[in-house]
Structure 1
Amino acid sequence: MNRIRWTRRASKALSLAVVSLLLSACDSIPKDETAGMSVEKLYSEAREEASAGNYERALKLYERLEGRAAGTLLSQQAQLERAYMSFRTGDKAQALAIVERFIKLHPTSPAMDYALYLQGVINFNDNLGIFGSLANQDLSERDQQASRDSYQSFKQLTEQFPRSKYTPDAQVRMRYIVNSLAAYEVHVARYYYRRGAYLAAVNRAQQTLQEFQQAPAAEEALALMVQSYDKLGMTQLRDDANRILRKNFPTSGFIATLPAPATK
């Protein structure tokens, strides 16, 4: 009988302990302070936080808004805002993942022009790998893929949405990318030339001319070709490159440093 009584007491104590633990766990779950907000109010709050520079807080609010407004244009807007907030907080990989998912899921969205623009901006790098310090770096191994990806996003935007308000800025960025990529190729060609890798220098200079004919760096690319062919003893190719340089850049400062091409 005592044993039965003890078992009942133990069972009752255990039940109370379980209930207590459950209540404690409920208390520890963070409350959703936005639970009573309408989607419009939630959007307004997120915009205010973003305007104040509280990007982490805005990011969380946009994430909640995206779920609550699912299937609406407001949800699409929240998704793009999440991508931008991730970008502003330095999480480029997450920002790209969000915007790429948006482009895949909403190809006919009225915000597609902004999505392409944002994708280009995220990949756009003001440095582009050539204006920073080049010390102790093998330029031939530097990756310019992000810049090329950025260019493709801007190109798609300008072709599909020529009247978009984002197109003029995208065009400016495209020109900058082209000039920077061309300058990068010349940096690599010069890198090879200075180290005696003349054939590699020619190849990179030729790549510059093939891809970026109108870029300012084309002038130096031709000069490097003349110098490299001269070192390789390829006089015919040297003179051909020299003539092209003089024809296209008659006032080039490089001309004075190069031998005159043989007359035919």
Structure 2
Amino acid sequence: MATRNDYKSSAWTYGSARLLAAVFAGCLMAACSSPEPEIPETPVEILYNNAKDALQTGETRKAAKLFDEVERQHPYSKWATQAQLMSAYAYYLVDAYDDAIPALERFIELHPGNRSAAYAFYLRALCYYEQIEDVTRDQGNTEQAQRSLSDVVARFPNTPYSRDATVKLDLVRDHLAGKEMDVGRYYQVRGQYLAAINRFKTVVDKFQTTSHVPEALERLTESYVALGVFAEAQKATAVLGFNYPGSPWYQDAYSLLNSKGLTPEGNEVEPPIALVDPSAVKGTEPAPAVEPMAAPPSDIAPAPDAVPVDPVTGLPLPDQAAPAVSAPVPSTDGPALSTNSAEDLMAPEPGSEPSGEQVLIPLGDAPAPQ
């Protein structure tokens, strides 16, 4: 019984300790999650200057909160508009892009004609630009950066923000092209050539000014050759050679076509020229010249004229019942064709002769008449 009581006492002590630990942890969490003390009502000049001083001393997050407070406490003052932009800038400095971007979009929506609107557009583009991931990752922020930078260039073409946005826009496009190339190589290695071709064509069509175009054209040649579509492979190689003649990618594509007996111009590779005259080799005599053979004369007599017969008795009809049949007039351009000759069988029907001089098709190996 004592042992049982001791066991109960130990279990109760252990359970109590766990309960106390849980209560203590809950108190800590409650203390940590308690809201920050509200900033009392303060004149707008003092509040804005305090936020500006906090920003200059490196207390960036505190400065962002104070700028937000300026807008909350004094929404109609002349400082509220500038406080919106300064709050977004403070969040940008500490890489709090999820807070900076909504603040900038609210500023752009409420004050599109403000003199700082160009800077707001530019800062929003920077927030997306600095979140660009590696080409192996999702490129959602890269696409957002492209749209935002394009807005800056289109809306404010004669500003320093536009010049810097133009440079960054080229880098963004090159990055997007690199993503397409990475996916295209993935499909190509696995033999999914149609999917790879779509990716490479996207690079050629949409990102023509990037550094990935020569490789995309060479990869298109490889994929088309693998599918047996040689005409498209020749076209891709021709474009590659015209725009990047000294590129190693063009050398690879050209060599690949040559291995298939083709050229980028759409012709077959010419056979190699013999360096030694075959007649000069000992024991080899040149083949004698073959005289052209004349067409053999036809010795088959033409068929007689048809004789009309009675359809009932089958006997020939009197001469007067037979209709007058005019004999065919032979052509003056050449000898008349025999009715049963091979040339006659290959001749066109009367009235269907093509215009121009008629050339008879020779028989066998006989050359065509000159």
The two structures share one fold, judged by TM-score above 0.5: yes
Distance in 2 separating the partners of 1:53 and 1:192: 49
Residue 246 of structure 1: CA displacement?
0.9
- 1:71-98, Cα deviation, whole Å (9 max, x unpaired): 3442122112222222333432222222
User: Contact between 2:132 and 2:141, CA under 8 Å: does it hold in 1?
Assistant: no
Q: 2:182 aligns with which of 179, 182, 187?
A: 187
Tell me which of the two structures has the higher relative contact order, counting C-alpha pairs closer than 8 angstroms and 6 or more residues apart.
1
Q: Which residue is equivalent to 1:152?
A: 147
SS in 1 for 2:160: coil
SS in 2 for 1:254: helix
Q: Which residue is equivalent to 1:212?
A: 207
User: Contact between 2:91 and 2:100, CA under 8 Å: does it hold in 1?
Assistant: yes
SS in 2 for 1:215: coil
Distance in 2 separating the partners of 1:247 and 1:116: 40
Matched, 1:177 2:172: yes
Q: 1:118 aligns with which of 114, 117, 123?
A: 123
Q: Which residue type is aligned with residue 170 of structure 1?
A: A
SS in 1 for 2:115: coil
- 1:25-45, Cα deviation, whole Å (9 max, x unpaired): xxxx94736x44x42333232
Distance in 2 separating the partners of 1:76 and 1:125: 25
Matched, 1:32 2:27: no
- Cα 1:164/1:74, change in 2 over 3 Å: farther
Q: How does 1:34-53 map to 2 (within 5 A)?
A: 35-36=41-42, 38-53=43-58
Q: Which residue is equivalent to 1:103?
A: 108
Matched, 1:77 2:82: yes
- 1:75-133, Cα deviation, whole Å (9 max, x unpaired): 12211222222233343222222212222222222221111111101111364422xxx
Any unmatched runs of 5+ in structure 1? 1-28, 135-141
Q: 2:217 aligns with which of 216, 222, 228?
A: 222
Distance in 2 separating the partners of 1:196 and 1:73: 64
- 1:217-244, Cα deviation, whole Å (9 max, x unpaired): 1111111111111111111111111111
Any unmatched runs of 5+ in structure 2? 1-35, 268-370
SS in 1 for 2:248: coil
SS in 2 for 1:107: coil
SS in 1 for 2:246: coil
Distance in 1 separating the partners of 2:79 and 2:238: 60
Q: Which residue type is aligned with residue 170 of structure 2?
A: R
Identity of aligned residues (%): 30
Q: 1:197 aligns with which of 192, 201, 216?
A: 192
Q: Structure 2 length normalisation: TM-score?
A: 0.56
Residue 206 of structure 1: CA displacement?
0.5
Q: Which residue is equivalent to 1:60?
A: 65
User: Contact between 2:122 and 2:149, CA under 8 Å: does it hold in 1?
Assistant: yes
- 1:119-175, Cα deviation, whole Å (9 max, x unpaired): 101111364422xxx5xxxxxxx4322212212222212222122332221111111
Distance in 1 separating the partners of 2:158 and 2:74: 29
Matched, 1:164 2:156: no
Residue 204 of structure 1: CA displacement?
0.4
Distance in 2 separating the partners of 1:184 and 1:162: 29
Count residues with an aligned counterpart: 225
- Cα 1:71/1:165, change in 2 over 3 Å: farther
CA RMSD of aligned residues (A): 2.3
Structure with the greater alpha carbon radius of gyration: 2
Q: Which residue is equivalent to 1:26?
A: none
User: Contact between 1:128 and 1:181, CA under 8 Å: does it hold in 2?
Assistant: no
Distance in 2 separating the partners of 1:180 and 1:99: 25
Q: Which residue is equivalent to 1:4?
A: none
The structure that is helix-richer by fraction is: 1
- 1:181-227, Cα deviation, whole Å (9 max, x unpaired): 11221121112111221111110010111111111111111111111
Q: Which residue is equivalent to 2:287?
A: none
Q: 2:232 aligns with which of 225, 231, 237?
A: 237
Q: Structure 1 length normalisation: TM-score?
A: 0.77
- Cα 1:86/1:126, change in 2 over 3 Å: closer
SS in 2 for 1:86: helix
